[in-house]
Amino acid sequence: MNHTGKIAVITGAARGIGRACAERLLADGAKVVMADIDEGGVKAAAAELGTEEHVRSVRTDVSQKDQVEALIEEAVKAFGRIDIMVNNAGIAMVQDFLEVTKADYDKVLSVNLEGAFWGTQAAGRQMIKQGGAGVIINMSSINSGLANPRVATYAITKGGMNQITGTAAVAFAPHGIRVVGVGPGTIDTDMIHTGFVSDASVKGILSRTPLGRYGTAAEVASVVSFLASDDASYITGETIYPDGGRRVLNYTVPVKEQG
């Protein structure tokens, strides 16, 4: 993909899918503003990926509307405009449905759902101010449509995110702004290895994944780069699922023994 001359903003960019998206868009010619609540982590990631001429970092808590708006302002101050917004920041809490507290519920929704809403709104407002055009990409999940009571709050936010994508796509279409979603399956990232998937459940997940493996953050980033490009100019309001075939499978497949 060719993103030369474009400016991208990515939240949750210190690691995992967000960092991979930053790396890919930089490689494809864009300048990137990387945002994350982990100030040290995102600063280090930005320094590793390029110079200040091409990449900047901004500490941002996406659950706070004013900080999301300030992020967009910082991006415009640094590079003059924004063309691509990737709402990737997200958290997950693995717990029994009956164990979810009000604080748990509010925390996950404020980051995942409200963060995506404020990011979509702020980016859309700036793109309209620039005269229209641009692409907003919301990082959803296959859990947006699958029932997993162990990650209820996460799944609820991703289902809601798909509605943000659809409604914003209709709202912004008259301005030439596309809004699309990416819903990864099980991707080999820190989130997976810090409790989201237990060792015992790996075989179960792979038995429901026709391609028989986890995806990589780079594979998700390649979908993001495509959707942000002019090659995807007639796609809006949709969520694309790089999931190894998991959503369409209604039975299990043999799993190779790990060794």
> Any idea which residues carry the catalytic annotation?
154
Which helix H or strand E contains 179, and what residues bound it?
strand 177-182
d(CA 219, CA 233): 20
Beta bridge partners of 135: 84, 178
* Contact (CB, 8 A) for 90 and 143: no
**C-alpha distances in angstroms, 168 versus 12, 22, 63, 192?**
21, 23, 19, 30
d(CA 92, CA 115): 14
d(CA 56, CA 52): 6
